[in-house]
């Protein structure tokens, strides 16, 4: 793809939302008369559909009755998403019972015209009521269901729900196989077959999906349907690492596979459409599409198509790029299927803005602008995918008169009545192609339901247009007038990622991994740093450092809180400005990969800003307390004195900076000792602290090993210790502090953990795999929060563990300075030897281990999966890319939780389950500082997920939380007798 083309696409994405929306408004070629004509036609369409309400599809009826804006609709969708993949009856019954017992089914009784829906509602009402009235849902729900069926043996509720879900699945999914799909589709209307749901997690998955696509192309081609049938291809199904940092690898490994499929499709005269995916993958998709479009063997083929998402600010520039390829390209214009995912990702990654519009009417306007651009294009073939009556009417208006051929598209099971009514009313309605998922319900339904949940908010046209209780004016609105009314402004309740933590502080700046220019610029800047690493200073004088810090304490403690905050804010800015330097140092000294290094720089900056804000809130003025008249009582916070901050090598910038920033914010001075493995990072960070206005003697750095740390802890001047590291070292510090004469020093300790994750049979295997790989192996497993023991329900263990092992094989082990590396080295040879001894001791229980490439020189160990019976088999935390897995039967969960609790740790805990009651049961038994439900277990964000454990995992309070600074402070109460020099003026002045 031409560099200038990509630059134009990037520039479009960099626009503010207001700028982008205003540009789209200007591109919609409608004056007032045209807009009124569109509104009239759209209202007529809706009125016509409402008069034919008896012809609605089951899916339309379902969405109208239950929708996604009430508890009942959400409950049914949750059951549909999970039920068919659950292999064991007890868990299936528990899921059904929980979801049905909390909803009001009686309110839907008799409300639908569908006999099936009314009968289902009766069954749901009776089942839900019986559960709610006859049993405690937090108790033995499965037992109640078994008692309900008595001698029958099989749960009636489970059987009924399975049948209901399969019927609904038939509305979502056209057929199980491509042969069945062709037979059901017939030859009267055009189809595009979507063969898959989830993307590949393993190379075996990718090969299987490629074979499925190849078979579908051959089967459709043999049917001789020509333009009446095509195949939609999901690129993330063809490569398990379809991610921007794997760019060269993906282009090399996936490119040939995709080219073979395209040539096969061309030979069979079957159209092939590249489906749209998440925003960060856009460049990859376009690069691969460009390769297909420029292939000599495909030059004369007009069946190569691509989907474009109108909710993306980059969509118009993408259309311009496609038109510039000067070949006939079918372009499927959709509004977009990952909206909430894109919003969250931008917030989590700290991007400058959102890649999508934050208001639905803005997306509607963008769709019309893109539609107009497609209809004006030189060589593109427009395909308009929509279920919105106004959009249909608007496209017809845009395409009025002689012009190019185009078509509409709809999803199988949805929109049939809308388009049938349009065909009755408009003679010029073009063909309507059906986008039809094909595959087993258990494989596709979870994916399709999540797509529907993403786009099925109660503002959705699909949910409301057949509802007589919703006025026509509300259902059919002119998006141009709506957007003009708010002047293109973004949604007021969706702040920019930078403002996510306001009013407390601003969010740190991240890196857009989907922007090749931004990533390459950081790589080049980091590669330019040739800073020599600094060794330990054997002549360090702990006593001199403590003396200087003691001397500086009175002045720093007296510095106003606002001034201390200003220094910390300046420090945060400096850390972000020096990001490339720290990325280079983190790779060289700590083995951090690019993504992990960027995240660590962000965390360090977040600590500074967050603690600065807390400092100003807590330390600016005392808190006024109640008391008798004539007296003023105030509670004040002050620094304790000198803090020893002892930080680890695994987060050598973030934890080092966080400890020191917290101590300084509370008015203390600091003697900081970083880990001996990472002295250069700490040295540069300390230099930035001094440059930010923090006095040199307020932060003194001492380098060295355990002996230096022991001397620092034992020093008489130390008023407190902030420590992150092993539990054994924390206990030694605790004993050392207790043995000192003089004032009692405080200890704030964050230590390790045997962190566990519980996965039951309701969990989605692909989601679990992603989260396990991240939790266990990111940072080479060298995080205190890393997953150490994975408990998997035995019913799904074989399939899940095979998927995890396959996903492990996709990880790139290599030089952390290479942006494509997933797994770097462990910290040093001593750590490697310890891990190797543990693996060797488990030699007969190793399920899978990734080989280390022979070209690598250093302390590398491949990710390893080891089976154990229980967490009790482990006598220590093994700090590296080693994951232990244990299986449990559904009725053994209580024993599993007891074993985890008895291990004594309490740092992080993961739960993957669609049953909320089960997640609460796990949390109630296993006391962990940070619990993560249905997501990975790492990457706690300052001010969002305060981090710290209990038991053997630390003392608290939590780092990055609102109570952390209190432990660094002393409290003093001041009482003034305000009437000591006269009468009580306040009391005497009260009105009678």
Residue 144 has a pLDDT of 39
**Among 41-55, 527-541, 628-642, 835-849, which stretch is predicted with the lowest mean pLDDT?**
527-541
User: Rounded mean pLDDT of 891-905?
Assistant: 97
User: Rounded mean pLDDT of 656-661?
Assistant: 98
Q: Assign residue 488 a region (left: φ > 0; alpha: ψ between -120 and 50; beta: otherwise).
A: left
* Backbone phi, psi, residue 126, to 5°: -65, -45
DSSP letter at 819 equals T
Token match 């107009």: residue?
372
Integer Cα distance of 641 and 639 in angstroms: 6
Determine the angle formed by the axes of helices 360-376 and 389-398, rounding to 10 degrees.
Answer: 30
Token match 């106003």: residue?
560
Residue 718 CA neighbour count, 13 Å, CB half: 29
Residue 135 has a pLDDT of 38
Residue 456 has a pLDDT of 47
Secondary structure in 3-state letters for 223-238:
CCCHHHEEEEECHHHC
Contact 903, 736 (CB under 8 A): no
Contact 678, 652 (CB under 8 A): yes
pLDDT of 255-306, one tens digit each?
999 999 999 999 999 999 999 999 999 999 999 999 999 999 999 999 999 9
Secondary structure in 3-state letters for 463-516:
HHCCCCCCCHHHHCCCHHHHHHHCCCCCCCCCCCHHHCCCCCCCCCCCCCCCCH
Banded model confidence at residue 128, pLDDT cuts 50, 70, 90: very low
Banded model confidence at residue 104, pLDDT cuts 50, 70, 90: low
Integer Cα distance of 959 and 748 in angstroms: 10
Beta bridge partners of 624: 634
Integer Cα distance of 386 and 122 in angstroms: 34
Token match 């601003």: residue?
506
Residue 133 has a pLDDT of 36
Rounded to 5°, angle at Cα 446 from 366 and 345: 45
Contact 243, 204 (CB under 8 A): no
The answer to whether residue 35 scores a pLDDT higher than 80 is: yes
The answer to whether residue 139 scores a pLDDT higher than 60 is: no
Dihedral (Cα; 672, 676, 681, 687), 10-degree rounding: 40
Integer Cα distance of 138 and 695 in angstroms: 57
Integer Cα distance of 780 and 879 in angstroms: 9
Residue 141 has a pLDDT of 38
User: Rounded mean pLDDT of 720-724?
Assistant: 98
The answer to whether residue 148 scores a pLDDT higher than 80 is: no
- Work out the percent of the chain whose per-residue pLDDT is above 70: 91
The answer to whether residue 580 scores a pLDDT higher than 80 is: yes
Compute the residue count for the chain: 992
Of residues 96 and 820, more confidently modeled: 820
Residue 136 has a pLDDT of 37
SS3 620: coil
Query: How many helices and strands, by DSSP H and E, does the chain display?
Result: 37, 23
DSSP letter at 754 equals -
Residues known to be catalytic: 750, 784
User: Rounded mean pLDDT of 963-968?
Assistant: 98
* 43 burial type by CB count under 10 A (0-12 exposed, 13-18 middle, 19+ buried): middle
Nearest residue to 406 via CA among 331, 310, 320 = 331
The answer to whether residue 117 scores a pLDDT higher than 60 is: no
Residue 783 has a pLDDT of 97
Residue 32 has a pLDDT of 94
Please report, for residues 563, 622, 722, the alpha-carbon distance to residue 967 in angstroms, rounded to integers and kept in the order given.
21, 17, 10
Contact 721, 745 (CB under 8 A): yes
Contact 302, 226 (CB under 8 A): no
Q: Which residues contact 891 (CB under 8 A, 6 or more apart)?
A: 90
Residue 154 has a pLDDT of 41
pLDDT of 373-383, one tens digit each?
999 999 999 99
pLDDT of 757-789, one tens digit each?
999 999 999 999 999 999 999 999 999 999 999
pTM of the model: 0.93
Mean confidence (pLDDT) of the chain: 90
Cis-peptide into 826, omega within 30 deg: no
Banded model confidence at residue 182, pLDDT cuts 50, 70, 90: very high
The rounded Cα 436 to chain-centroid distance in angstroms is: 28
Banded model confidence at residue 445, pLDDT cuts 50, 70, 90: confident
Q: Assign residue 179 a region (left: φ > 0; alpha: ψ between -120 and 50; beta: otherwise).
A: alpha
Residue 537 has a pLDDT of 52
Contact 604, 658 (CB under 8 A): yes
Contact 220, 268 (CB under 8 A): yes
Banded model confidence at residue 463, pLDDT cuts 50, 70, 90: low
Rounded to 5°, angle at Cα 577 from 574 and 581: 105
Contact 775, 757 (CB under 8 A): yes
Banded model confidence at residue 461, pLDDT cuts 50, 70, 90: low
**Among 37-46, 291-300, 788-797, 981-990, which stretch is predicted with the lowest mean pLDDT?**
981-990
């Amino acid at each position: 793809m031409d560099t200038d083309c990509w630059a134009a696409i990037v520039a479009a994405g960099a626009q503010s939302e207001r700028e982008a929306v205003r540009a789209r408004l200007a591109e919609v070629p409608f004056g007032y008369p045209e807009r009124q004509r569109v509104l009239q036609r759209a209202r007529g369409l809706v009125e016509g559909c409402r008069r034919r309400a008896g012809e609605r599809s089951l899916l339309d009826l379902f969405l109208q009755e239950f929708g996604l804006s009430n508890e009942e609709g959400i409950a049914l969708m949750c059951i549909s998403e999970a039920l068919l993949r659950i292999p064991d009856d007890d868990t299936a019954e528990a899921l059904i019972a929980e979801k049905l017992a909390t909803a009001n089914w009686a309110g839907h009784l008799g409300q639908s015209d569908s006999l099936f829906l009314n009968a289902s509602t009766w069954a749901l009402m009776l089942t839900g009521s019986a559960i709610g009235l006859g049993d405690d849902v937090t108790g033995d729900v499965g037992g109640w269901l078994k008692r309900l069926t008595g001698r029958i043996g099989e749960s009636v509720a489970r059987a009924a729900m399975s049948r209901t879900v399969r019927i609904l699945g038939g509305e979502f999914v056209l057929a199980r196989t491509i042969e069945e799909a062709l037979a059901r589709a017939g030859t009267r209307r055009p189809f595009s077959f979507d063969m898959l749901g989830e993307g590949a997690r393993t190379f075996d998955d990718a090969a299987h999906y490629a074979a499925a696509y190849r078979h579908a192309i051959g089967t459709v081609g043999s049917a001789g349907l020509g333009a009446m049938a095509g195949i939609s291809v999901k690129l993330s199904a063809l490569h398990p690492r379809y991610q921007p940092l794997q760019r060269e690898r993906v282009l090399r490994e996936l490119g040939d596979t995709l080219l073979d499929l395209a040539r096969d499709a061309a030979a069979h005269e079957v159209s092939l459409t590249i489906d749209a995916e998440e925003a960060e993958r856009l460049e990859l998709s376009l690069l691969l599409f460009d390769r297909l479009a420029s292939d000599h063997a495909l030059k004369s083929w007009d069946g190569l198509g691509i989907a474009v998402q109108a909710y993306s600010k980059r969509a118009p520039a993408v259309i311009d790029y496609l038109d510039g390829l000067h070949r006939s390209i079918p372009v499927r214009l959709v509004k977009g299927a990952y909206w909430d995912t894109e919003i969250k990702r931008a917030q989590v990654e700290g991007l400058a803005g959102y890649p999508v519009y934050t208001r639905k009417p803005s997306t509607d306007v963008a769709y019309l602008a893109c539609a107009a651009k497609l209809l004006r294009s030189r060589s593109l073939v427009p395909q308009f995918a929509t279920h919105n009556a106004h959009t249909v009417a608007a496209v017809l208006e845009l395409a009025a008169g002689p012009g190019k051929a185009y078509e509409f598209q709809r999803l199988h099971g949805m929109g049939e009545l809308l388009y049938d009514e349009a065909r009755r009313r408009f003679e010029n309605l073009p063909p309507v192609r059906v986008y039809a998922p094909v595959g087993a319900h258990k494989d596709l339904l979870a994916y399709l339901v999540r797509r529907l949940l993403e786009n099925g908010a109660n503002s959705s046209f699909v949910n409301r247009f057949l509802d007589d209780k919703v006025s026509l004016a509300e259902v059919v609105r002119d998006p141009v007038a709506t957007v003009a009314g708010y002047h293109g402004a973004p949604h007021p309740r969706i702040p920019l990622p930078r403002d996510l933590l306001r009013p407390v502080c601003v969010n740190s700046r991240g890196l857009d991994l989907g922007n090749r220019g931004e990533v390459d610029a950081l790589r080049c800047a980091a590669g330019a740093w040739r800073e020599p690493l600094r060794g330990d200073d054997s002549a360090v004088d702990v006593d001199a450092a403590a003396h200087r810090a003691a001397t500086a304490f009175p002045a720093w403690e007296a510095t106003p809180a606002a001034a201390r905050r200003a220094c910390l804010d300046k420090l945060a800015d400096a850390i972000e400005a020096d990001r490339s330097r720290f990325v280079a140092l983190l790779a060289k000294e700590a083995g951090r990969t690019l993504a992990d290094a960027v995240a660590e720089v962000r965390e360090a900056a977040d600590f500074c800003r967050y603690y600065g804000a807390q400092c100003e809130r807590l330390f600016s003025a005392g808190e006024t307390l109640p008391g008798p008249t004539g007296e003023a009582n105030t509670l004040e916070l002050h620094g304790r004195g000198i803090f020893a901050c002892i930080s680890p090598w695994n987060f050598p910038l973030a934890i080092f900076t966080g400890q020191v920033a917290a101590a300084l914010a509370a008015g203390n001075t600091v003697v900081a000792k970083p880990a001996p493995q990472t002295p250069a990072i700490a040295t540069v960070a300390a230099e930035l602290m001094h440059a930010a206005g923090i006095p040199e003697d307020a932060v003194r750095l001492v380098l060295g090993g355990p002996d230096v740390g022991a001397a620092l802890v034992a020093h008489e001047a130390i008023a407190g210790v902030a420590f992150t590291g092993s539990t054994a070292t924390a206990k030694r510090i605790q004993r050392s502090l207790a043995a000192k004469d003089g004032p009692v020093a405080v200890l704030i300790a964050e230590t390790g953990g045997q962190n566990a994750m519980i996965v039951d049979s309701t969990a989605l295997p692909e989601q679990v795999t992603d989260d396990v790989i991240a939790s266990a192996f990111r940072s080479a497993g060298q995080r205190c929060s890393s997953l150490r023991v994975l408990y998997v329900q035995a019913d799904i263990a074989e399939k899940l563990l095979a998927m995890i092992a396959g996903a492990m094989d996709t990880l790139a082990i290599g030089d952390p300075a290479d942006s494509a590396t997933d797994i770097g080295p462990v910290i040093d040879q001593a750590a490697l030897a310890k891990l190797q001894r543990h693996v060797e001791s488990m030699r007969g229980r190793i399920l899978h281990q990734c080989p280390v490439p022979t070209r690598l020189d250093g302390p590398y160990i491949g990710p390893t999966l080891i089976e154990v019976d229980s967490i009790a088999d482990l006598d220590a935390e093994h700090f590296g890319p080693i994951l232990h897995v244990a299986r449990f039967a559904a009725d053994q969960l209580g024993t599993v939780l007891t074993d985890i609790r008895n291990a004594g740790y309490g740092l992080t805990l993961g739960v993957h389950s669609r049953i909320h009651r089960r997640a609460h049961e796990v949390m109630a038994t296993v006391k962990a500082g940070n619990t993560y439900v249905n997501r990975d277990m790492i990457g706690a964000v300052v001010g969002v997920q305060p981090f710290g454990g209990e038991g053997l995992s630390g003392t608290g309070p939590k780092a990055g939380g609102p109570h952390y600074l209190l432990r660094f402070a002393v409290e003093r109460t001041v009482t003034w007798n305000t009437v000591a020099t006269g009468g009580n003026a306040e009391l005497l002045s009260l009105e009678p």
